[in-house]
Amino acid sequence: MNKIKVICFDADDTLWVNEPYYREIEHLFCRLMTSHTDEKSCNEILLQTEINNIRLYGYGAKSFVLSMIETAVKLSSHTIDSKTIEQILQLGRDLINKPLQLLDGVQDILAHFKGKYRLILATKGDLLDQERKLKNSALEKYFHHIEIMSEKDVSNYKKLIAHLDVQPDEFAMIGNSIKSDILPVLNIGAYAIHVPCETTWAHEQAENSEIENPRFRETDQIIKIKEIIPSFK
């Protein structure tokens, strides 16, 4: 038997729908900007603005809204009108108020593992937004600990594992992002299971998803991890 004691779940696009909502709002935003540029260029400039702003605003809906406004100012050469700014702010409100939709199998897998392992939620993004989504999900009862990170990197995963008082080989991470949920965890000697999401933010896409590591698995359905976890050695 393996020594895994803690199973840690990512939230957005692992437990519930998130990225498709952002892409929908992004599309509507770029339609607002059609008098200044084409949609492809708008998408590219917005993405670069988001990436540049991560160190200032972090991740999440509010950071996204600020990046849309900044992009609008750039694209319009500082001539954007107040009506358009209000429309962008409304897009942000629409994003935040999107209904929470659990992904298939999530409730079943959490119920299956509860009591057998310590279940942890580790996510990044805006604190209020993530807390709201967790509350609306009705999943909080399954988790021993909730961690909202500024960044999912080796340093913060090490801090999380130390806080939980376990060793890396007693920790398994489940998530949709190779960059944030998988590679940093493997790099500290823990286990990782990739559950791909149909839509992934460009900033989260890893250049090389070919991973050869005995502590790594991939599955197309989250419910299948109940067979994967016991298979780790």
Q: Where are the domains of the chain?
A: 6-17+101-231, 19-96
Does the pLDDT value for residue 82 go beyond 50?
yes
H helix intervals, 165-220? 183-187
Q: What is the pLDDT of residues 137-175, one digit of tens each?
A: 999 999 999 999 988 999 999 999 999 999 999 999 999
Widest CA span of the chain, in angstroms?
64
- Contact 130/11 with Cβ under 8 angstroms? yes
Q: Specify the 3-state DSSP secondary structure of 148.
A: strand
The helix (H) or strand (E) run that includes residue 21 is: helix 19-32
Query: Each residue of 83-102: pLDDT tens digit?
Result: 999 999 999 999 999 999 99
Tokens at 107, concatenated: 């409730």
User: What CATH number should be reported for the domain whose range is 19-96?
Assistant: 1.10.150.240
| 65: region left, alpha or beta (phi > 0 left; psi from -120 to 50 alpha) | alpha
Q: How confident is the model at residue 44 (pLDDT cuts 50, 70, 90)?
A: very high
Tokens of 113: 């593992």
CATH superfamily of 6-17+101-231: HAD superfamily/HAD-like (3.40.50.1000)
